[in-house]
Amino acid sequence: MPTNFSRRSFFVSSAALALVSGTAKAAIHDGNLVEMLNKSPIDASARNVFEPRVIVVDPSEAVLFRSTDGGHNTQSMDDLIPAGAPPWKSDIGADVEITFDTSGVYPYVCTPHATAGMVGVIVVKGEGMMDNYEAAKGARYRGRARKVFGEIFDEIDAINLG
Ligand SMILES: [Cu+2]
């Protein structure tokens, strides 16, 4: 009985399309660029990475995920992003621009490389920005994502977000 699955797929697709079509006018601020890469420019041993893997933005800013190497995408972890924030899932090998209106922490993955550790976090500043932080930090991540998210949350802990 595939009804629920179909509904969910339709919902996610619609949300992603809405995000893509609705954000064309948003400005990309300096630094709000995440490249999707086959190899890390920082760590030669790391393959399949978002670079940078942590970005901090203000509400209503957009982030451009650039498909520099192809074969990758960006997908929100829908149970972990802030309550009420729209989920997203981009096409493999495509640039996508996403605007973040709700303050909070947004863990995301590359769908085919999630357990290989191709993951990242967007932090959207503002009131309530830490409301979902502990839940995101304490979530059970699978495979190499567990190690990389651990490193990412250590990086966020070290940032002065005030
Ligand atoms: Cu990937």
- How many folded domains does the chain comprise? 1
For 51-105, the pLDDT digits (tens) are 999 999 999 999 999 999 999 999 999 999 999 999 999 999 999 999 999 999 9
Give the range of the structural domain holding residue 9, as residue numbers without chain letter.
Answer: 3-158
Distance in Å, CA 116 to ligand 1 centroid:
8
| Helix H or strand E segment including 54 | strand 54-57
Token code pair at residue 26: 């948003």
Token code pair at residue 3: 């009804």
Distance in Å, CA 52 to ligand 1 centroid:
14
pTM, two decimals, is 0.82
Q: Say which residue the tokens 């995440």 belong to.
A: 34
Across-strand partners of 121?
Answer: 54, 107
Distance in Å, CA 127 to ligand 1 centroid:
32
Distance in Å, CA 64 to ligand 1 centroid:
16
CATH number at residue 22: 2.60.40.420
Would the pLDDT of 7 be above 60?
no
Instruction: Please list all protein residues whose beta carbon sits less than 5 angstroms from ligand 1, which is an ion.
Output: 48, 72, 110, 113, 118
